[in-house]
A and B are shown apart, each in its own frame.
Chain A
Amino acid sequence: MVLIHDYLIEQINLNIIIAFTIALIGVLTYRSHLISTLLCLEGIILSLFILIVLLISHSHIAFISITPLILLVFSACEAGVGLALLVTISYTYGNDYVQNLNLLQC
């Protein structure tokens, strides 16, 4: 009997990696609002989460099953910090435009 390689898992991986890359470009390029950065940051984390879960379920490595949960915990903290910064900025300036953050420009 000949083993036929199934390339489905690699296509799924590629898919999620493309999602990661699109979210990364979204973090790094934005026009005026700061909140878009935070949204795309969540997208990065979501794609990383899916990748780790797929790795665990495809390779049957049961003992690192706790890793996605830890990732979620830290992402929640990180999102909290990001939102606190956003609230501070909009408290000071009234909106979250990026061009407001120019206090240190000479």
Chain B
Amino acid sequence: MNFTLNSMILLSIIMLVSPLLYNMLMPHKTTYFPTYCKNMIMMAFMTSLPPMIIFMLYGQESVITNWHWFSITTFNISMSFKLDFFSIIFIPIALYDAWSILEFSLWYMHSDIFIHKFFKYLVSFLLTMIILVSANNLFQLFIGWEGVGIMSFLLIGWWYGRTDANTAALQAIIYNRIGDIGFMLTMAWLMLNSNSWELQNIFSTNMDFIALLGLIIAATGKSAQFGLHPWLPSAMEGPTPVSALLHSSTMVVAGIFLLIRFHPMMENNQMILTTILCLGAMTTLFTAICAITQNDIKKIVAFSTSSQLGLMMVTVGLNQPHLAFLHICTHAFFKAMLFLCSGSIIHSLNDEQDIRKMGGLFLILPITSSALMTGSLALVGTPFLAGFYSKDSIIEAINTSYTNSWALMMTLIATSLTAIYSLRIIYYALLGNPRFSSISPINENNPNLINPIMRLAMGSIFAGFLVTMSIPPMTSITMTMPDMIKLSALLITLAGLAIGMELNSFTNKLMNSMKHTTNFSNMLGYFTYFTHRIYPLMNLYSGQRIATMLIDMNWYEKTGPKGQTNIHSSMSSLLTSTQKGLIKVYFMSFLISITLALMFASMSTNNF
């Protein structure tokens, strides 16, 4: 039994390395390479299913420590994989998503001549993500962390001829780097205070506030929480498969995953939990507000991702890490499917991303539109679809726990806003009359398009039920609550739907009465306009002031040559106004004073 679980997981990871080796050793054979990558990922997914089933049946977890890497005096680092509850369940789900998305990119990136490089990047991203998720020590986790950041940079800037894409890639790197500072703070603290980076040793340390704060900063950077969030909507400059894989299912949940890994340390520290809770509530509300007036279909889905990440953060702050993990798993399915459907719509309309120029696609793209509606229903938490099991449990948990009521209010409002922006996508893209030019042929004939969407749709419908019924319960849930509390998520969502229909009809009737709020929401709360100007401006100003004002002016004009000139001339003009010439008189008085003084001195000493 030990052999099966360990060897199959390691085999699954090795299967991810083989496409990269293939491309390194035989770089000229590129025609069959994308399909080869997709097949290898499918095999890796199949290989990683038995370990998950073994875990669900027998509850077996394992830690594999392979290779002693290096040691610095008493500090040892080795390559070790931790296959516990979180990583065993996450790896098959990530591979399932990646399989579907790779098959989709066979259709989406078909006309790109560098399609083999694209697949190479996606596979290496997946490899680093799996390293991150299964790492047992912080060094390996950091390798995965940095790896997903670098691959995100390369993939967002895939169409590097476009200035916006380069700016967005740079933005992603810089914001992730700021988060990495927090991660390194935690690593340094742990190196000093507990002399080990292995998770088992860390679990028996008492972590200080500052070390946990470093983890929160890392999560803020990687998972786009409020404060370090602008990179996620800008990251939509990359191709749709990149948005589907990185920025919805796998990379952005790395920050939340880190917090979930460290949950034993945060259980007893109420201050940290409150910080996480308030940060998550702020994020989820702010990004949901930004999502309801966006005009780009991918940006709406990106803000939806950001809002769900805030919800996961709120759950971690409620001391319910397993619920957050469940939401990560179910969210991966329907969010990736939403991105794939929007990719299908975009490609069919000849790369049109603005929802104001779409419409009436309901009958033209039947599979895409039904998948879009299923995904949106799963996102808002329709009973017994995938999202219901995680989202409704989270709302119930936050309603029945002793927590900050402001955070509760924010989360509930964000839940109703979720319904509003989901309805916005459906209303503008699928319903009504077509607003696009009728030149491009719209069809869904390619199986590479249909099969991934159907697979993820199956996942969105059944995954919630399957995962919830198979995992062992880790916390005790409140089973009894008043009727209103139990139905609160559903009622709020229905209220959001009603308001959403009302808001959507405003465009038809050209009501301009809400100008200020619309601008605030559309321009992302003016956050980027403030911060991206202010910090470089302050740095440049202080640099100029130090060089010119401080050094030049002070040394040359206040203390140096000119300063001396000013001092001396002012002093002499002060003094010369008291003098009048008359040198002989002055000298005579000097002589007489000396004589008199000498006489008095000699007379007083009686030695005359």
- Give me the interface of A with B, judged by CB distance under 8 Å: 24-25, 27-30, 98, 101-106
B587: chain A residues at CB < 8 Å are 27-30
Instruction: Tell me whether A104 and B591 are in contact (CB under 8 A).
Output: no
Among the listed A25, A98, A101, A104, which residue makes an inter-chain contact with B576, where contact means beta carbons less than 8 Å apart? A104
Instruction: Tell me whether A28 and B581 are in contact (CB under 8 A).
Output: no
Within 8 A of A (CB), among B567-608: 576, 579-584, 587-588, 590-591, 594
- Taking the closest CB of chain A, its distance from the CB of B397, in whole angstroms, is 91
**CB nearest neighbor in A for B590:** A28
Instruction: Tell me whether B591 and A105 are in contact (CB under 8 A).
Output: no
Instruction: Tell me whether B580 and A98 are in contact (CB under 8 A).
Output: no
A28: chain B residues at CB < 8 Å are 587-588, 590-591
Instruction: Tell me whether B581 and A103 are in contact (CB under 8 A).
Output: yes
- Count residues on chain B whose CB falls below 8 Å from chain A CBs: 12
A90 to B581 CA separation, bound complex (whole angstroms): 17
B581: chain A residues at CB < 8 Å are 101-105
B582: chain A residues at CB < 8 Å are 105
B591: chain A residues at CB < 8 Å are 24-25, 28-29
A25 to B595 CA separation, bound complex (whole angstroms): 10
A106: chain B residues at CB < 8 Å are 580
Question: 27 interchain pairs (CB within 8 A)?
Answer: A24-B591, A24-B594, A25-B591, A27-B587, A28-B587, A28-B588, A28-B590, A28-B591, A29-B584, A29-B587, A29-B588, A30-B584, A30-B587, A98-B583, A98-B584, A101-B581, A101-B583, A102-B581, A103-B581, A104-B576, A104-B579, A104-B580, A104-B581, A105-B580, A105-B581, A105-B582, A106-B580
A98 to B581 CA separation, bound complex (whole angstroms): 10
For the residues of A in contact with B, the DSSP-based class is loop
**CB nearest neighbor in B for A102:** B581
A103: chain B residues at CB < 8 Å are 581
- Taking the closest CB of chain A, its distance from the CB of B578, in whole angstroms, is 9
A101 to B580 CA separation, bound complex (whole angstroms): 10
A27 to B587 CA separation, bound complex (whole angstroms): 8
Closest 9 CB pairs of A and B: A28-B587, A28-B591, A105-B581, A104-B581, A102-B581, A104-B580, A104-B579, A28-B590, A105-B580
- Give me the interface of B with A, judged by CB distance under 8 Å: 576, 579-584, 587-588, 590-591, 594
A24: chain B residues at CB < 8 Å are 591, 594
A38 to B556 CA separation, bound complex (whole angstroms): 38
- Taking the closest CB of chain B, its distance from the CB of A9, in whole angstroms, is 19
A27 to B591 CA separation, bound complex (whole angstroms): 10
A28 to B587 CA separation, bound complex (whole angstroms): 5
- Taking the closest CB of chain B, its distance from the CB of A43, in whole angstroms, is 15
**CB nearest neighbor in A for B579:** A104
A105: chain B residues at CB < 8 Å are 580-582
Q: A24-B591, A30-B587 are in contact. List 7 more A-B contacts (CB 8 A).
A: A28-B587, A29-B587, A98-B583, A98-B584, A102-B581, A104-B576, A104-B581
A49 to B582 CA separation, bound complex (whole angstroms): 31
- Taking the closest CB of chain A, its distance from the CB of B402, in whole angstroms, is 87
A28 to B579 CA separation, bound complex (whole angstroms): 18
A27 to B584 CA separation, bound complex (whole angstroms): 10
A29 to B594 CA separation, bound complex (whole angstroms): 13
- Taking the closest CB of chain B, its distance from the CB of A69, in whole angstroms, is 28
- Taking the closest CB of chain B, its distance from the CB of A105, in whole angstroms, is 5
A29: chain B residues at CB < 8 Å are 584, 587-588, 591
A102 to B588 CA separation, bound complex (whole angstroms): 17
A101 to B582 CA separation, bound complex (whole angstroms): 8
**CB nearest neighbor in A for B577:** A104
**CB nearest neighbor in A for B592:** A28
A104 to B572 CA separation, bound complex (whole angstroms): 14
A49 to B585 CA separation, bound complex (whole angstroms): 29
- Taking the closest CB of chain B, its distance from the CB of A36, in whole angstroms, is 12
**CB nearest neighbor in B for A37:** B587
- Taking the closest CB of chain B, its distance from the CB of A65, in whole angstroms, is 30
**CB nearest neighbor in A for B594:** A24
A25 to B587 CA separation, bound complex (whole angstroms): 9
A24 to B588 CA separation, bound complex (whole angstroms): 11
A106 to B578 CA separation, bound complex (whole angstroms): 11
B584: chain A residues at CB < 8 Å are 29-30, 98
- Taking the closest CB of chain A, its distance from the CB of B598, in whole angstroms, is 10
B590: chain A residues at CB < 8 Å are 28
B580: chain A residues at CB < 8 Å are 104-106
**CB nearest neighbor in B for A32:** B584
A103 to B581 CA separation, bound complex (whole angstroms): 7
A101: chain B residues at CB < 8 Å are 581, 583
B576: chain A residues at CB < 8 Å are 104
A55 to B94 CA separation, bound complex (whole angstroms): 102
**CB nearest neighbor in A for B584:** A98
A104: chain B residues at CB < 8 Å are 576, 579-581
- Taking the closest CB of chain A, its distance from the CB of B412, in whole angstroms, is 88
- Taking the closest CB of chain B, its distance from the CB of A93, in whole angstroms, is 14
**CB nearest neighbor in B for A103:** B581
A103 to B588 CA separation, bound complex (whole angstroms): 20
- Taking the closest CB of chain A, its distance from the CB of B599, in whole angstroms, is 13
A25 to B592 CA separation, bound complex (whole angstroms): 10
- Taking the closest CB of chain B, its distance from the CB of A48, in whole angstroms, is 16
B579: chain A residues at CB < 8 Å are 104
A106 to B577 CA separation, bound complex (whole angstroms): 11
- Taking the closest CB of chain B, its distance from the CB of A33, in whole angstroms, is 12
- Taking the closest CB of chain A, its distance from the CB of B71, in whole angstroms, is 66
A36 to B412 CA separation, bound complex (whole angstroms): 103
